[in-house]
A and B are shown apart, each in its own frame.
Chain A
Amino acid sequence: MANKKPKVAVFKFASCDGCQLSLLDAEDELLAVADAVDIAYFPEASRKMLKGPYDIGVVEGSITTPHDVGLIREIRRMSRTLIIIGACATAGGIQALRNWKDIKEFTNIVYATPEYISTLDRSMPIASFVHVDFELRGCPINKYQLLEVINAFLNQRKPNISAYSVCVECKLKGNICIAVANGIPCLGPVTHAGCGAICPSYKRGCYGCFGPMESPNTSALSKHLFEMGQTGYDIMLAFRSFNAYALEFRKESDAYEK
């Protein structure tokens, strides 16, 4: 079996590298993973570089340049299974905030010679360009979820990753709902589970780092937040963050943009 280990490659587009680091952060478990797979390409961790095709391609980051577009198509071609990780890859990331503005203005302000900058006018999720086999949400992703996905694909089973709300995680964990008990505005009811309900566990409202849950009723939540005293601007900002360009969050923030 030793020479037939599945080849795994990790790629990066526009992102902060945080999601890749989650994998490196999984110290104990990483050894087991490294033992079970052949890390063919992972510039963050190793200089080794093996040619494709790969059994699993893991992609972090969003597509922001014409060059990226070509590259992601090449990666798709080389990867039997394509797993994308993190809010940048699944929703365009925090950098998708620029999607609401004129890109030319930005490049003119930021760069001395903007004519050398070749960029798309928007930061786009990977799935806008290629077929994706699995999307792992989060900003950053949860390292245990990443291990679970890799484990599941290696063992050809269904990853135990749920698309229900963060509320379910709070309840399974035994958290008391901070929205109800403390009146703290919380995006938990419309947000995809996976983080382990970190913020509510520390009495902070959910920021929606994992993007929209499976059937988000964002307008009903906004209406309630409004009644609780949030302004339309607060609500717009709440939805316009790490997953701003995810369809349901985008629509909701647009609805409150005055």
Chain B
Amino acid sequence: MNNSLKLESHHLNTLFNSLKRDNYTLIAPIISNGSIIYEQVNSAEELPRGWTDEQEAATYRLKKQNDNAYFSYNVSPYSWKKFLFPPHIRLFTVESKGKSFKINSSDAPIPAYAFIGVRPCELNAIKIQDKVFNNGQYTDTVYKTRREKVFIVAVNCTQAGGTCFCVSMNTGPKAKGGFDIALTEVINEDGHFFIADPGSEKGTKLMEDIPCSTARQSEIETAERLVQTTAQNMGRSLDTNDIKKLLFASLDSPYWNDVASRCLTCANCTLVCPTCFCSTVEDITDISGEHAERWRRWDSCFTMDFARVFGGNFRPSSKGRYRQWLTHKLASWIDQFGTSGCVGCGRCITWCPVGIDITEEVKRLKNEY
């Protein structure tokens, strides 16, 4: 059965308007300071039309392209997690009252976000964080209250970035659920249009208000072909065969010394990673000591404080910390959440200041094995 719709590119903004009408705060890719980031927008015209990005280990450059495409670039330095799992957030305030105190949790209004331009790998990252922040026993309130309101417009990838390897991680380049609407952008002799696939009731309903037609089979196939070509042009690949076994059996490998000599322990990889979820809390007081607050902020297993306890540190060496990150991401994550912690978005490769490449690291580790 064919539910695919054809949305002409000049009607893309109607989608934006419908979402705004439904009181969503629109977040979409825009150009800021020489890179594409996800920020609040008002219209489709703010999208980085005609721009693409070139990503390699430790380099990211924007390039003008004369195709007028809305989505011919890959993932941004920042992932959607910053909206669902804010980098810094106040958990509660406390007022001292004599020998007792009163705790007030935050009741700031939480916006309903519409994420526009979510890539398939990023959809999978959100799915992974859904599992992380609802671990069966406990649910993270901060995440949940934001997540449950989100409307997702996914965009299938019609070009592969230099550091992409979603095919290896089975997370792209085509979205397989987890979205409200998925778009595939097509520019050819027939024009500039999107194949739009509703993925939820919310999505179907929204599309009803938007001028579009049922997509013809040939148009659907054109879109399919673009995505398939993308799959064949992945910038990188990661061999996931027996990956858990490889990592668990390599805890004492000399390889870790090698990577530790290159790793800066700067934490960039974890902060750009769309699935990394570690956080810490900070308690603060005003100078009188009568008002206190607790804040939560992103943390990273690369910081020294991460595994510090009174009287010692469980992971003092950079070798131990890199091993924790890689082993967690690719192996123990599977035990914890039934899925790899890596979606192949390539951010950790692009944004590592010295270009440490997770796909190469796995190869090196295999060679040592």
Contact = CB atoms under 8 A, between A and B. Distances in A.
Interface of A: 29, 32-33, 35-36, 147-148, 150-152, 154-155, 157-158, 160, 162-165, 167-168, 171-172, 174, 176-177, 179-183, 186, 188-190, 203, 213-217, 219-221, 223-224
14 contacts: A32-B287, A32-B288, A155-B285, A155-B289, A171-B272, A174-B78, A176-B33, A180-B58, A181-B34, A182-B34, A189-B353, A220-B263, A220-B354, A224-B355
A214 B286 CA distance: 27
Nearest to B78: A174
A213 B353 CA distance: 15
Interface of B: 32-35, 37, 58-61, 77-78, 82, 87-88, 261-268, 271-272, 282-289, 297-298, 300, 302-305, 318, 350-351, 353-355
B304 A165 contact: no
With most chain A CB atoms within 10 A of its CB, the pick from B60, B78, B350 is B60
A18 B57 CA distance: 40
A157 B285 contact: yes
A256 to B, nearest CB: 17
Ordered nearest first, which 3 A-B pairs have the shortest CB separation?
A189-B266, A171-B271, A165-B266
Contacts of A190: 264, 266
Contacts of A167: 266-268, 271, 353
Nearest to A214: B304
B304 to A, nearest CB: 4
A105 to B, nearest CB: 38
B13 to A, nearest CB: 26
With most chain B CB atoms within 10 A of its CB, the pick from A162, A167, A214 is A167
Contact of B268 (A35, A158, A189, A223): A189
Given A167-B268, A181-B35, 11 more contacts: A35-B287, A157-B283, A157-B285, A165-B264, A167-B267, A168-B298, A179-B58, A180-B350, A189-B264, A215-B304, A220-B264
Contacts, number: 134
Contacts of B58: 179-180, 224
Nearest to B264: A189
B304 A174 contact: no
Contacts of A168: 266-267, 271, 298, 300, 303
B140 to A, nearest CB: 19
A177 B203 CA distance: 35
Contacts of A32: 286-288
A36 B305 contact: no
A223 B318 CA distance: 18
A36 B267 contact: no
A151 B77 contact: no
Contact of A176 (B77, B82, B304): B77
Contacts of B267: 164-165, 167-168, 171
Contacts of A33: 287
Contacts of A147: 287
Contacts of A160: 282-284
Contacts of B350: 180
A205 B273 CA distance: 23
A160 B318 CA distance: 23
Given A160-B282, A167-B271, A172 B287 contact: no
Nearest to A29: B287
A171 B87 contact: yes
A148 B287 CA distance: 9
Contacts of B32: 176
B282 A172 contact: no
B37 to A, nearest CB: 7
With most chain B CB atoms within 10 A of its CB, the pick from A32, A179, A220 is A220
A154 B297 CA distance: 24
A163 B87 contact: no
A151 B263 contact: no
B286 A151 contact: yes
